[in-house]
């Protein structure tokens, strides 16, 4: 039942002393709290009894108990403060380690494996799961251990005077601390799971509907959508409400059991007093000790509720980690080293799902230093071809070699060193623009500035108050879509790799900038192999060869001159279909 | 709706939507304190009778029998409090979410697109859920902080004014205490909240950028980076926490010290050392224990408030995100226009129409005056940024012109301004096929019925046939009930476009708006779409955005836009005649920018 939590408990071993200290301090705070109330109760009873006659009032030793009361008052404050500091520090240390651990288990997975269909929010969920797991010690283990020990302390304090009553108190407290929360935890799981399912479904639905807002509004369906989303939310919230009811009922059960425990203890103590087996001044002590211990027990239900969340988080993390890496790389010592950089793709087929192929037997040869343009409508398999080269997806058939060495025989470091890639989406890290551009390579600012200049990003940079040292905004990015894309190209071109892959580099740029960007790309890629994919007819003659993809098939592959000379080629037809004069005129003079 | 409302004011104002439950929750909390008085009475009475009165066991029966029902009553009230709090939070969130969703329709798709759908859905979904803790726990608790200590003071004061004084002097009612605990903690708790947020964002950022890290060969190294960053966050957070916990330690200190002071004071009164602070009746053990048992509860509400503090910080952050959506002022159409149901075909007349995007200096459409004739197909061409999409947005009613007029002409009716037509009525007359067709997850039938909820299965089949999809349909395992979209059957770009066309057929609208309906399709799809378009446009007024020659050839007239102005409005032949703006030049230059 708790097996999935074991690896995370094991992560705690390096800080056993710190965690133990946290628990010890928590226990000390609890013991002080019980001690303060119980001792005060006894002190009042004993002094009231002594005060009945003047003689006893004078002989009553009030120094020790009053010193004890003051001590407990201070130790409760001190221990509580220390306990909070230590447990939080320990939790953050664990969190650092947990993050590293999760990162290391995710890193070998290919992006295609991580971002499977319908999992666009996987990363967000993982982050939330890691945050939930950090509560394992702080919110579950520590309070549970402390409550257990608190019950023992309470039993011992009472048991010193009356063993039977002490035993009864401890057992009854244990029952009241465990039964209610445990029942709630068991019964709550079904609702909790249903809530999460509904929540995920509704959120995905909302995102989908927002993407289609224009159409839904045109078709007068938005109000219907709002109603059905709210209806869905009501179903989800009904589970939440049930959880709240159960939580309330478990509190009721705990309180009832506490009431019975207290009644039992006071009744037994009263009985013992009337039979002169117990000092009457201890009655209040026992009652207050139990009320004090309940302070710790009151935390248990929350701990158990958290336990459910943490278990679910651990299960989900395990589920992701179970995805064994589909792409393995040979070790440095076992790899084949490429000779030259001639790329050869032979009969490459890729299936993303079992039945649907995205590439069918594509064969391409790219000589070292050659510039290749891959054209095709969206969905024709261009990006999948790229992803196969960088081994983000695994081909189902066919081979790819680089300089004679099969791509899957290169170590990951060697493979990565061959390619400089700008994907369609540019991810900006929460680091300085400089770090975002160099990506850990030693590149001086002049080189960076020159690169930004050639990609028409100089104006943008000059608007940044901190220049290259500035950070992208925490919310969203301070680069427009077109700027972000050029930033990605700059990042790729700054990387000195022999093969440059650019995915739709000029999408969303105005024509003047597009020309400038092309110019820069060509300049920077002289002598390097360049492969560009696009669905726009651009600068055809600048490329040595053009490959046309359509629905996963390679339909044409030749030099642009020869393709354009053939009146029946797809490229010629495409170029003619879009009236060039029309396009020429449509450009502002 | 004040524009300078603070998040706190908004949270306060919104609380009224669940006020009933919040009041019940506070009431339960208050009653539960009253029950506590009974519990304290029972325990104190037992001790008094045992220690001082030395009665026999039978005198204990009443308080002993009263204890369990008192605890059960307290448990019931705690339960009621939990349930009412949760219920109030749920109702408020449902109401806020509905308002947000309805607001989206008023703000329109143009606005929504600027927000990025992921950000927007995060706000509508997660940020609204982030309000729960505030309304369910924090707010009722805050109110109880003002009620419970006063009840306890009222119970204690008649027994001993000195004890009441000790509580007051160390208590949470003292503004200085409140300020020390409240304001100091607030700033630091907020700082801590911010740090924690940054920390998990950094991790998220790293995970999301994993493929970039891989491509640059630094993904292995990053594991240590994750650890280092997390550790430096820890050090910074701990610096904040050391101070933050100090302010709650102050509260803890006062609570502990006052219990100790009370115990010592009462003990010395019993021993005859102190003679002040009581009334003529003196203080017996019962009164002393009664006061002692109540003392911790005097501080408890404020301590619990601290536990829920993060809920408040979360809710304020959420409110800051939600308020711009809810309070944004927009042009809202008069909703009580008479119904409008055109019978014949429609013509449109634009006069001096000018439209501008918020925050732009130049107009997207600048003084456009044209007629769109009934049943004609008007093609609109121009470079990007010429105002083509803006024109379409104005026609769809998503964007409101800042000057000029747009009149709708029906054959023998008086012209009517678009502004005087209810947007629901107007949109009912529009069919639209855009560059990306929306496929919602659901069955094929559900996807088609978006356009016409009342359509029969036969209507759907007819529309699919018109849109050249019947062959695809026969290949589907469950026919119209086949599930599409996420988790269902994948739909290619060409199929999606034809589903959008089928919707347009089902709509049977007077005005058809087409935005690059054949862009980026494979050859086979493109031919099918062209054929379906020809069928769709017959007998309807059509506005078509394109730069495809084949589509232009279908059009009756061509409107050329440039920088928001009309360059020409002519038949294609006239435009292409020698000397015309589209006159053929000698050679085709292939290196132009166009879509495949």
pLDDT at site B487 = 64
Last residue within a domain, chosen from A271, A289, A323: A323
| Main-chain phi, psi angles of A346, to 5 degrees | -125, 115
Q: Whole-number mean pLDDT of chain B?
A: 84
CB atoms within 10 A of CB A561: 11
pLDDT at site B587 = 38
Residue A430 lies in a domain: yes
Buried/exposed A384-400: b ≥16 CB within 10 Å, e otherwise:
bbbbbbbbbbebeebeb
**3-state percent breakdown (helix, strand, coil) of chain A, nearest 5:** 65, 10, 25
- CA distances for B583 relative to A426, A581, A584, B398, angstroms: 42, 8, 11, 35
Both A40 and A144 in one domain: the answer is yes
Query: Partners of A340 in the beta sheet?
Result: none
Q: List helix spans (H) across B308-422.
A: 309-327, 388-396
Q: What is the pTM of this model?
A: 0.81
Both A428 and A477 in one domain: the answer is yes
**A100/B200 CB distance under 8 A:** no
Both A299 and A406 in one domain: the answer is no
| Main-chain phi, psi angles of B163, to 5 degrees | -65, -45
What domain count does chain A have? 3
Q: At what angle do helices B285-307 and B161-170 cross, to 10 degrees?
A: 20
Q: What CATH code would you report for B438-508? A: 3.40.50.300
Both A417 and A492 in one domain: the answer is yes
For chain B, give the longest Cα–Cα distance.
123
The CA distance from A398 to the nearest CA of chain B, in Å, is: 23
Is the CB of residue B498 less than 8 Å from the CB of residue B445?
no
Both A284 and A405 in one domain: the answer is no
Is the CB of residue B277 less than 8 Å from the CB of residue B269?
yes
Q: Supply A298's token pair.
A: 């009151």
For chain A, give the longest Cα–Cα distance.
125
CB atoms within 10 A of CB A534: 20
End-to-end alpha-carbon separation of chain A, Å?
Answer: 73
pLDDT at site A349 = 92
Of B450, B588, B591, the CB nearest to A540: B591
- CA distances for A380 relative to A291, A331, B554, angstroms: 71, 34, 28
Query: Partners of B560 in the beta sheet?
Result: B381, B568
Percent of chain B at pLDDT > 90 equals 32
pLDDT in tens, B305-355: 877 877 888 898 889 889 988 888 776 666 677 778 887 888 999 999 999
Mutation choice for A interface testing from B49, B71, B268 by most A CBs within 10 A? B71
Mean pLDDT for B536-543 is 90
How far is B125 from B339, CA to CA, in rounded Å?
35
pLDDT at site B225 = 87
How far is A190 from B320, CA to CA, in rounded Å?
34
Mean pLDDT for B478-491 is 78
Q: At what angle do helices A282-297 and A142-161 cross, to 10 degrees?
A: 170
The CA distance from A577 to the nearest CA of chain B, in Å, is: 6
Give the residue numbers spanning the domain of A568.
561-589
Both A567 and A549 in one domain: the answer is no
**A588/B80 CB distance under 8 A:** no
Query: A95: which chain B residues are within 8 Å (Cβ-Cβ)?
Result: 199, 230, 234
**Per-10-residue mean pLDDT for chain A, 589 residues long?**
80 90 95 94 93 85 92 94 92 89 85 60 76 84 90 92 94 86 79 86 85 83 88 94 89 90 94 91 92 83 78 83 75 87 92 74 92 84 89 89 91 91 86 89 92 89 82 60 86 93 82 84 92 81 89 89 87 68 43
**A210/B245 CB distance under 8 A:** no
Q: Name the pairing type of β-strands B511-515 and B365-372.
A: unpaired
The CA distance from A298 to the nearest CA of chain B, in Å, is: 12
pLDDT at site B245 = 80
**A131/B200 CB distance under 8 A:** yes
Both A21 and A56 in one domain: the answer is yes
Of B260, B451, B596, the CB nearest to A377: B596
Query: Chain B residue closest to A110 (CA)?
Result: B211
pLDDT at site B138 = 92
What is the domain-level CATH number for residue A182? 1.20.1560.10
How far is B394 from A231, CA to CA, in rounded Å?
33
pLDDT at site A1 = 60
pLDDT in tens, B23-65: 999 999 999 999 999 999 999 999 999 999 888 889 999 999 9
Length of chain A: 589
Both A574 and A534 in one domain: the answer is no
Q: Supply A308's token pair.
A: 């459910």
Detail the DSSP E strand segments found in A123-261: none
pLDDT at site B180 = 59
Q: Please give the DSSP secondary-structure letter assigned to residue A138.
A: I
pLDDT at site A381 = 84
pLDDT higher than threshold 50 for residue B149: yes
Both A311 and A385 in one domain: the answer is no
Query: Chain A residue closest to B125 (CA)?
Result: A203
- CA distances for B436 relative to A7, A152, B282, B516, angstroms: 46, 67, 85, 9
pLDDT at site A584 = 45
pLDDT at site B311 = 84
Pick the CATH number of B7-326 from 3.40.50.1370, 3.30.2020.30, 2.40.30.10, 1.20.1560.10: 1.20.1560.10
What is the domain-level CATH number for residue A410? 3.40.50.300
The CA distance from A585 to the nearest CA of chain B, in Å, is: 7
Q: At what angle do helices B222-270 and B285-307 cross, to 10 degrees?
A: 160
**B503/A99 CB distance under 8 A:** no
Size of interface A-B (CB pairs under 8 A): 475
Reported as a pLDDT band with limits 50, 70 and 90, residue B400 is confident
Both A168 and A254 in one domain: the answer is yes
Query: Partners of A500 in the beta sheet?
Result: A420, A530
Both A568 and A510 in one domain: the answer is no
**B222/A103 CB distance under 8 A:** yes
- In this prediction the ipTM stands at 0.83
pLDDT at site B535 = 86
Query: Partners of A536 in the beta sheet?
Result: B595
CB atoms within 10 A of CB B236: 15
A397-402, strands of its sheet edge to edge:
A357-366, A343-351, A397-402, A405-406
How far is B560 from B568, CA to CA, in rounded Å?
5
Both A19 and A158 in one domain: the answer is yes
Delimit the CATH 1.20.1560.10 region(s) of chain B: 7-326
Delimit the CATH 3.40.50.300 region(s) of chain B: 438-508
């Amino acid at each position: 039942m708790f097996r999935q939590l074991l690896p995370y408990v094991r992560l705690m071993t390096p800080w056993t002393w710190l965690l133990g200290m946290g628990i010890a301090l928590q226990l000390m705070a609890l013991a002080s709290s019980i001690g303060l109330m119980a001792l005060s109760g006894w002190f009042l009873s004993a002094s009231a009894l002594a005060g009945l006659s003047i003689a006893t009032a004078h002989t009553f030793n009030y120094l020790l108990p009053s010193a004890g009361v003051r001590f407990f008052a201070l130790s409760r404050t001190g221990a509580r403060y220390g306990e909070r500091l230590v447990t939080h520090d320990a939790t953050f240390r664990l969190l650092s380690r947990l993050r590293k651990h999760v990162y290391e288990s995710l890193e070998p997975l290919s992006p295609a494996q991580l971002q499977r269909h319908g999992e666009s929010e996987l990363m967000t969920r993982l982050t939330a799961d890691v945050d939930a797991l950090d509560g394992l010690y702080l919110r579950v283990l520590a309070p549970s251990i402390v409550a257990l020990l608190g019950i023992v302390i309470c039993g011992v304090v009472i048991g010193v005077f009356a063993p039977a009553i002490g035993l009864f108190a401890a057992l009854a407290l244990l029952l009241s601390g465990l039964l209610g929360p445990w029942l709630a935890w068991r019964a709550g799981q079904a609702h909790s799971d249903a809530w999460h399912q509904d929540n995920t479904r509704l959120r995905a639905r909302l995102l989908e509907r927002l993407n289609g807002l224009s159409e839904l509004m045109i078709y007068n369906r938005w109000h219907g959508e709002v109603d059905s989303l709210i209806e869905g939310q009501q179903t989800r919230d009904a589970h939440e409400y049930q959880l709240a009811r159960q939580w309330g009922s478990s509190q009721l059960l705990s309180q009832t059991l506490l009431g019975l425990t207290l009644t039992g203890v006071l009744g037994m103590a009263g009985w013992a007093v009337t039979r002169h087996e117990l000092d009457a001044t201890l009655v209040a002590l026992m009652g207050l000790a139990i009320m004090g211990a309940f302070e710790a027990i009151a935390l248990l239900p929350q701990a158990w509720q958290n336990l459910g969340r943490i278990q679910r988080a651990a299960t989900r993390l395990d589920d992701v980690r179970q995805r064994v890496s589909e792409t393995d790389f040979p070790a440095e010592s076992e790899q084949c080293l490429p000779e030259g950089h001639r790329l050869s793709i032979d009969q490459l087929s890729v299936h993303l799902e079992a039945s649907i192929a995205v590439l069918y037997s594509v064969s391409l040869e790219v000589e070292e230093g050659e510039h290749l343009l891959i054209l095709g409508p969206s969905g024709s398999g261009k990006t999948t071809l790229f992803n196969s080269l960088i081994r983000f997806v695994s081909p189902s058939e066919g081979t790819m070699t680089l300089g004679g060495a099969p791509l899957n025989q290169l170590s990951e470091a060697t493979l990565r060193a061959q390619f400089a890639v700008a994907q369609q989406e540019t991810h900006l890290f929460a680091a300085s623009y400089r770090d975002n551009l160099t990506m850990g390579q030693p590149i001086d600012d002049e080189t960076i500035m020159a690169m930004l200049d050639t990609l028409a990003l100089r104006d943008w940079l000059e608007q940044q108050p901190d220049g290259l040292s500035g950070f992208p905004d925490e919310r969203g990015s301070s680069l427009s879509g077109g700027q972000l894309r050029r930033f990605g190209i700059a990042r790729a071109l700054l990387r000195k790799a022999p093969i440059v892959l650019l995915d739709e580099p000029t999408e969303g740029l105005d024509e003047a900038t597009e020309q400038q960007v092309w110019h820069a790309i060509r300049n920077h890629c002289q002598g390097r192999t360049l492969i560009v994919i696009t669905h726009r007819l651009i600068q055809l003659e600048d490329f040595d060869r053009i490959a046309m993809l359509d629905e996963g098939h390679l339909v044409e592959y030749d030099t642009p001159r020869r393709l354009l000379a053939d009146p029946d080629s797809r490229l010629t037809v495409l170029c003619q279909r879009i009236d060039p004069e029309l396009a020429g005129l449509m450009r502002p003079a | 709706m004040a524009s300078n409302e603070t998040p706190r004011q908004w949270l306060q104002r919104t609380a009224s939507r669940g006020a009933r439950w919040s009041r019940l929750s506070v009431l339960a909390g208050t009653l539960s304190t009253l029950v506590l008085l009974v519990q304290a009475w029972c325990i104190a009475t037992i001790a008094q009778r045992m220690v001082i009165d030395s009665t026999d066991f039978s005198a204990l029966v009443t308080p002993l029998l009263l204890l369990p029902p008192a605890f059960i009553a307290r448990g019931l009230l705690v339960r009621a409090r939990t349930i009412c709090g949760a219920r109030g939070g749920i109702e408020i969130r449902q109401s806020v979410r509905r308002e947000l969703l309805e607001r989206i329709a008023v703000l329109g798709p143009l606005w929504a697109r600027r927000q990025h759908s992921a950000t927007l859905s995060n706000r509508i979904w997660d940020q609204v859920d982030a309000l729960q803790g505030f309304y369910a726990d924090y707010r009722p608790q805050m109110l109880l902080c003002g009620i419970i200590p006063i009840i306890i003071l009222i119970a204690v004061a008649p027994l001993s004014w000195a004890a009441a004084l000790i509580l007051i002097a160390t208590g949470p009612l003292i503004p200085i205490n409140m300020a020390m605990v409240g304001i100091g903690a607030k700033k630091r708790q907020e700082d801590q909240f911010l740090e924690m947020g940054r920390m998990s964002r950094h991790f998220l950022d790293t995970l999301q950028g994993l493929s970039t890290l891989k491509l640059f060969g630094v993904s292995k190294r990053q594991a240590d980076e994750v650890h280092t960053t997390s550790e430096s966050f820890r050090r910074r957070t701990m610096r904040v926490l050391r101070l933050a916990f100090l302010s709650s330690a102050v509260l803890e200190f006062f609570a502990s010290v006052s219990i100790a002071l009370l115990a010592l004071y009462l003990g010395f009164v019993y021993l005859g050392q102190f003679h002040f602070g009581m009334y003529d009746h003196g203080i017996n053990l019962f009164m002393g224990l009664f006061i002692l048992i109540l003392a911790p509860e005097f501080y408890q509400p404020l301590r619990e408030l601290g536990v829920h503090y993060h809920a408040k910080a979360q809710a304020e952050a959420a409110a800051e995100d939600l308020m711009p959506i809810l309070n944004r002022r927009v042009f809202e159409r008069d909703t009580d226009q008479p119904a409008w149901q055109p019978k014949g075909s429609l013509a449109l007349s634009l006069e001096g129409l000018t439209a501008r995007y918020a925050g732009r200096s130049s107009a997207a459409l600048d003084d456009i005056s044209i007629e769109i004739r009934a049943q004609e197909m008007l093609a609109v061409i121009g470079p990007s940024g010429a105002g083509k999409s803006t024109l379409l947005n104005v026609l769809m009613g998503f964007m409101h012109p800042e000057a000029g007029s747009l009149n709708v002409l029906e054959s023998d009716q008086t012209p009517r301004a678009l502004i005087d037509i209810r947007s629901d009525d107007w949109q009912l007359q529009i069919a639209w096929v855009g560059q990306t067709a929306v496929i919602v997850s659901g069955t094929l039938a559900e996807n088609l019925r978006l356009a016409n909820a009342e359509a029969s299965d036969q209507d759907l089949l007819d529309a699919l046939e018109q849109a050249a999809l019947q062959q695809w349909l026969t290949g589907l395992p469950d026919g119209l009930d086949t599930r599409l979209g996420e988790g269902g059957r994948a739909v290619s770009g060409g199929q999606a476009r034809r589903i959008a066309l089928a919707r347009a057929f089902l709509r049977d609208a007077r005005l058809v708006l087409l935005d690059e309906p054949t862009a980026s399709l494979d050859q086979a799809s493109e031919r099918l779409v062209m054929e379906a378009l020809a069928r769709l446009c017959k007998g309807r007024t059509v506005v078509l955005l394109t730069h495809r020659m084949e589509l232009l050839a279908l059009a009756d007239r061509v409107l050329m836009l440039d920088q928001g102005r009309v360059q020409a409005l002519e038949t294609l032949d006239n435009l292409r005649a020698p000397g015309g703006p589209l006159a053929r030049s000698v050679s085709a230059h292939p290196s132009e920018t166009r879509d495949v």
